[in-house]
Structure 1
Amino acid sequence: MKILGNLIWLIFGGLIIAIEYFLAGLVLCLTIIGIPFGIQSFKLGLTALWPFHAKLVPNARSGGCLGVILNLIWIVFFGIWIALTHIFWGLILFITIIGIPFANQHFKLATVALTPFNYKIQ
């Protein structure tokens, strides 16, 4: 069932979301300062490719003070907008019964998109 969900996800927008995350990651990695944010964008892209297989695990060692600072920078410049987009599409998909599993995946992506330095993806 997970494979079917992932295939439907990819066909109906998941591939586009993943490509956007990967392109953003490439642009962010062009500067030395943007490399940590680019890596997080790649992590979000991989999750967007196969959301039904991805497990989000809170990172036991979230980086301490550096992780908090990086999360705050991420939230201000990227995270809030990405999370709001995922929440919007999640709410739209919740209108139909068929869209509920996909809405749940958007909500899962919204939590990671808000503070990606706090999560590991398995």
Structure 2
Amino acid sequence: MKTILNVIWLVLSGVWLFLAYCLAGVLLCITIIGIPFGIAAFRIAVYALWPFGYTTVERHDAGAASCVGNVLWLVLAGWWLALSHIVTGIALCVTIIGIPFGIANFKMVPLSLLPLSLLPLGREIVPTDAPFAAR
């Protein structure tokens, strides 16, 4: 079932969100200071391309550096990536078939408990079938 949902997601919005995160990653990697943010963007790009079967968890070893990094991410790329998720999610929720995909989009914006698109540092993407101890 996850594969079917991922293929439909890929056609409806996955490719566009993947390209947006890749563009953000390339732009952020231009400077040495932006490389960690670019790596985070590429990591999220793969998740935005194939999201079903994965979830995000908070890393407990993340410290103050990830907090400062999240503030910089918010200013540099987070706000417009979150906006793209909101617009795509609303567009997908117009149809009944698109509602699960719209909800998957909203899972990545600040409407959720773990807003991945706004605050990606200090979070990790793990498979949903991974053992609980690995999360």
TM score, norm. by length of structure 2: 0.81
1:120 alignment counterpart: 124
Identity of aligned residues (%): 44
1:32-65 superposed Cα distances (whole Å, 9 cap, x missing partner): 1111110110111011111112211111122x22
TM score, norm. by length of structure 1: 0.89
Equivalent position SS for 1:114: coil
Measure the CA separation in 2 of the matches of 1:21 and 1:83: 11
Tell me: CA distance 1:13–1:90, structure 2 relative to 1, closer, same or farther (3 Å): closer
Range 31-40 or range 14-23, more displaced: 14-23
Count of matched residue positions in the alignment of Structure 1 and Structure 2: 121
Measure the CA separation in 2 of the matches of 1:22 and 1:87: 18
Q: Which is richer in helix?
A: 1
Pairing of 1:1-122 with structure 2 (within 5 A): 1-62=1-62, 64-110=63-109, 111-122=115-126
2:131 alignment counterpart: none
2:130 alignment counterpart: none
Equivalent position SS for 1:61: coil
Equivalent position SS for 2:96: coil
Range 35-44 or range 6-15, more displaced: 6-15
Measure the CA separation in 1 of the matches of 2:13 and 2:89: 13
Equivalent position SS for 2:95: coil
Unpaired stretches in structure 1, ≥5 consecutive residues: none
Range 85-94 or range 35-44, more displaced: 85-94
Residue pair 1:44, 1:109 contacting (<8 A) in 2 also: no
Measure the CA separation in 1 of the matches of 2:21 and 2:119: 15
Unpaired stretches in structure 2, ≥5 consecutive residues: 110-114, 127-135
User: Deviation above 4 Å: which 4+ runs of structure 1?
Assistant: none
Residue 19 of structure 1: how far off its partner (Å): 2.6
Measure the CA separation in 2 of the matches of 1:20 and 1:89: 12
Please give the root-mean-square deviation of Cα atoms over the aligned residues, in Å. 1.5
Equivalent position SS for 2:65: helix
Tell me: CA distance 1:93–1:108, structure 2 relative to 1, closer, same or farther (3 Å): same
Measure the CA separation in 2 of the matches of 1:20 and 1:26: 10
